[in-house]
Chain A
Amino acid sequence: MARNKYDVDEQLETPFDFGHLKRSFKYIKKYRGKMILSLAISILAAIAGLIGPLITQRALDVTIPKGRIAELVGLAALLLGCTLLSVVLGNIRSRIMTVVGQNIIFDIREDLFEHLQKLPFTYYDDRPHGKILIRVINYVNSVSDMLSNGIINFIMEILNMVFILIFMLIVDVRLTLVALSGLPLFMALMFAIKKHQRKAWQDVSNKSSNMNAYLQENIVGARITQVFTREEENAGIYDKLNTSYRKSWMKAVRLSNLVWPTTDNISTLVRAAMFAVGLLVLPAGTASLGTLAAMTGYASRFWQPIMSLSNILNNFINNIAYLERIFETLDEPVTVSDKEGAEDIGEISGQVSFNDVTFAYEEDNNVIEHVSFDVKAGESVALVGPTGAGKSTIVSLISRFYNLTKGSITVDGKDISEVTLKSLRSQMGIMLQDSFIFSGTILDNIRYGKLDAKDSEVVKAAKTVCADQFITLMEDGYETQVNERGSKLSGGEKQLISFARTLLSDPKILVLDEATSSIDAKTEALLQQGIAELLKGRTSFIIAHRLSTIRNCDRIMYIDEKGIAESGTHDELMEKKGAYYALYTSQSA
């Protein structure tokens, strides 16, 4: 299984092509109107900019030699007007494009986030979370300018180049050819650089991803680091990651920085060649001196857009390294998803059947094999057995967190792979082993189970699970701010909050996976009454090691060796004197 860790680069298989750029047109298209408008404004501004030199020329050629001060003032006023116009136009364009750029990244980010919500657990399990995070935030941010202003500037510069080329052709075809002769050389060099450059920037994105993944794990695990006094060693690892990032960056800019000087030198070389050809090679007189002067002027203007273009391209190449990571995530297959035409399961009663279910997280390593059982609506089922036997796996299959390898599971007679995930999961309450706490108030954390719950409902749920007492003792009661890895809540308290959350969601099928493991015995005893209340009228699956908590379940299944080894009520299983009996007696010994 290819699981990624902080010091392993993520391989990217797709070869570079402008396909990524083409694909991003999907996001640009929405703003086509505004982009075209901006382009039009830019062209208008460019034209306004062209008037300036004409005015100056007129002033120098006619107005000043003839000493017409009034006309000079008039021309200055005209020039002022042009300047004002081009400033205003430029500002309008910036205003439009700022919004467009922000909108584009908003859209990309939204798509990315929505897609991430659909991805299965395995996606999150397979790589450090920091690597996912920087894609959503930093990578998306960095492509904003490329997809908005970058594209317009790109078009503008091309237009610019074409116009000047036309002027040049009109003036003198031979000298134009000389000016163009630098182009093949330019292209050859650019292609040579580009190939390495792309690799180099990919490497930068990989190294930054590694570095940030390690950083995130260390923020989350700072306490563990301190417990094991690993500060120095971890800092050392981070230094290494940091160093290889720095190296990759330097390598990339070493290449990127080559682009501009290369263009500059070729441009100068071309102009020198034009002088040489015009003055020395062409038979005297065929290229008039005026033509030559005009041509060299044009030549430098012709290379200006090329230089700008090479800079824009440079930018594109850097950012495409990020863009391809974004698209890669968007292309990540959604393995657990609604089938086409999947229906809402409707209100369920809670009947669950496993029909010859086989499941493996990884190929050829079945966790459970040929498991079949039926659970009536309202029945409570306990799953017991050694750790790692597959108890959690069985319950997570009911919510269809994973797809089955073989067999089927039905809820109320409907195959769960045929109904919408949302309709299924929203009627299930799963209390996981890990109780995750979102940053926010305790109230919000419990309310996560039922978003429109009134405060009083939240408090009631908290009371049922015996959490009310410690919550009201906290500094701000239910309004106390807590967070993911905060120290304000003990493990037991987190479990109680997560319990209240599940209770509030009022599920038809309830799954308690070691839900009370960190809760002290006394609270647990109290909680048992709450749970008994909770179980009424619901189908429930309970995983617990303390058998005292599950004795009263309607059915107990002993899970071992990839399947159900024993099944029956407590009394039946005790009668049988099998694995359950052994386990039970060992606990009470």
Chain B
Amino acid sequence: MSTTLLPLDVHAVRQDFPILSQKVHGKPFVFLDSGASAQKPKQVIEAMRFVMEEQYANVHRGLHYMSEKASDAYENVRDKVAELLNAGSREEIVFTRNATESINLVAYTWGRTALKPGDAVAVSEMEHHANLVPWQMLRDAHGTELRIIKITDSGELDWNSLEQVFADGKVKLLALTHMSNVLGTYTPVERLAKFAHEHGAKILLDGSQAIVHRAVDVRAIDADFYVFSGHKLYGPTGIGVLYAKAEILDAMPPFMGGGDMIASVSYQKSTWAKPPHRFEAGTPAIIETIGLGAAIDYVRGIGFKNIAAHEQHLTEHALSTLSQIEGLRILGSAQDRGGVISFVMKDAHAHDIATLLDRQGIAVRAGHHCAEPLMGRLGVTSTARATFGLYTLPEEIDALATGLERVRKIFA
């Protein structure tokens, strides 16, 4: 495996990520846990330092130089996100804390007004808890129904099950992952959006994993809602995005009340600001939002064509390398899959695998990956998971394979 064939200059990219030069337990740091949270390039770190040292004040309220500078920088990121997603307008971009908050926002506001008791929300068996629990809470508070679409043994959405779930016409929202955080499966989002719309339902997509690897076009998909977290996209924690079509946002009541989300306030009554500010109560994560803007500039500078090709290259290399390890089983075999690889090993528990790899400087995640029901469906209690980023080298996957051979020998 020669790195000269890589679709992007990974060695140059790695120079941008200061943390990657560290040693862990005296070994080179091999970070294969980007799917949980990605590392940050110095461009993001620098943008956040710059705003704090040279351009910081609260946004949207100060009639002074610094507030205007900070407000411009903050609002400028909304344009960057709108471009990233190819949204119809910047007003369709709401800043939240993370994808979890974005989904909760939709469940709490749209869910309690656009849905009636007896309407159903459909999710799949391969959702992160973030796209399951908010709909359970809505069910319990509002009397909606929650339906589960099955997946096949290969880890793809079961289309027969989808049709069954929609058969009685009660489903008004299809809430699905765009890429499974356990199986790496990409869902056919354009087809699913068309299906949902033909059945009188809206579609919400959890793009937390997909946004990192592929160019996302919410208008081409015809998504009604699209959510993601900044921290998986090489940005900081504490900033996430909710995209929703303008006409949907216009009809949604506020999520939280407070400053910045109002048009007028009196003791008797308040009126709401227009979207997106209606959904952004209180002082937002100004510094983190600007960091997200820098992260978006960074990935767009590299180009999603290159990023996607790199991910595909790594995924193929990982699938072929890891499948040669005796007793190792990779979960899921979807045709369209990416750089999220969960596996189990005969005789070695996922936590023992993770601990032994850690001692070799290799970071993987082990556990249920916030997808307990999916673990049950797959017949396992936990898995080890390797996830890739744009700084991941094929040699790091080789190091993982060597590490796993060592684990296998210890437990043999």
Decide whether A and B are members of one complex. Answer: no
